[in-house]
Amino acid sequence: MNLSEKIKAKGREIGFSRIGITDTSSLSEKNERRYREWLAGGYNAEMEFLKKDVDKRLHPAMLFEGARTIVAVAINYSPGAIELQSGKDYSVISRYALGYDYHTIISDKLVLLLDYIRSEVGGRVSGKIYCDSGSLMEKTVAERAGLGWIGKNSLLITKEFGSWVFLGEIVLDIELEGDNKSKNLCSDCNLCIQSCPTGAIIAPGKIDASRCISYLTVENKGAIPEKLRYALGNRVFGCDSCQEVCPFNSNVTQTKEPLFEPDRKLIAVPLDKLFFLASNQFSDWFRDSTIKRVKRNGLLRNIVVAIGNSENKKFVPLLKGMCEKANAVLQEHAEWAISRVVS
């Protein structure tokens, strides 16, 4: 068993679902052109960090001096069947946020894998860990390492686990035997494009982030554009619409990682209860969740929009209270929600 095979075996033992290896050669001219055109078109919305270190993103060998190999990993986070309430008065949270914060879990596992690699080569190796951080095109790297392919919704899709996977990487200064790039199996299927509530998938693999509900409810720090608020429905964090219709996401086995098992108290929470919790117990409830990323006011903004979309007049007193006490962004959203509820 060569070192590459040993690393993959150890990775599976640590708990990764898929492991692949690729080099740090530059991305293809096609990928570079598409990324630069995407940025030039402003489709990154307010995510200015995507404009930083573009050369490093496109040329992984520049990540650090001597970088030669990337070990790419994926871990299944599928929570299995989720029972959602049919009423508009209950919240919907994206599946990836129902368990423990994935950044911590994957990073800890990657540390273990890097320690193993160092032990196998006598410690003479430099490595850098990535998990949804830094200047690395994670999905492109994962595709190149044979983990899966980038679908028309721009997500990494694997044969075994669909797109219900978190990604991570270790960049190394040693050379390892690599894997072949995955074949794209989307064929003529366009279900993800057709299912997007806001039409954010403007072309296969091309997302207008400013219209994407995941962006609007998580990365977006300001107001949600009024013309798009209705499309959020009762989603308060993220959106799974394009994943729910993907054929590769059906019948995926539930994650084997206990910390990714869904926290049942976050599934279909009554909107007024979630509003109270976000207002008064945000840190206690979301300390170990990815949801903490949006912060208290961001989650309240999303809940208020969901309340407006519920069209339930019982929420009017709650909304009026926010109009009196909240910051300008929350006040404006609350006023909009009142107009929706009482119309």
| Residues designated as active site | 132
Which element (helix H / strand E) includes 265? none
Question: Judging by DSSP bridges, how do beta strands 92-93 and 206-207 pair with one another?
Answer: unpaired
Q: What Rg, from alpha-carbon coordinates, does the chain have?
A: 21
How many CB atoms within 10 Å of residue 292? 17
Helices 328-342 and 295-310, packing angle to 10 deg: 10
Question: Judging by DSSP bridges, how do beta strands 206-207 and 201-203 pair with one another?
Answer: antiparallel
In the chain the beta strands, taken as DSSP E runs, fall at 18-23, 69-76, 92-93, 127-130, 149-150, 156-157, 165-172, 201-203, 206-207, 235-237
Q: What are phi and psi of 75, to 5 degrees?
A: -135, 130
Instruction: Give Cα 239 distance to the centre of its chain.
Output: 10
- Find all residues with CB under 8 Å of 169, minimum gap 6, and list them: 70, 71, 72, 73, 110, 129, 130, 131, 136, 138, 141
Q: Are the beta carbons of 176 and 7 closer than 8 angstroms?
A: yes
Closest CA to 166 of 92, 95, 112: 95
**CA–CA dist 79, 244 (Å, integer):** 13
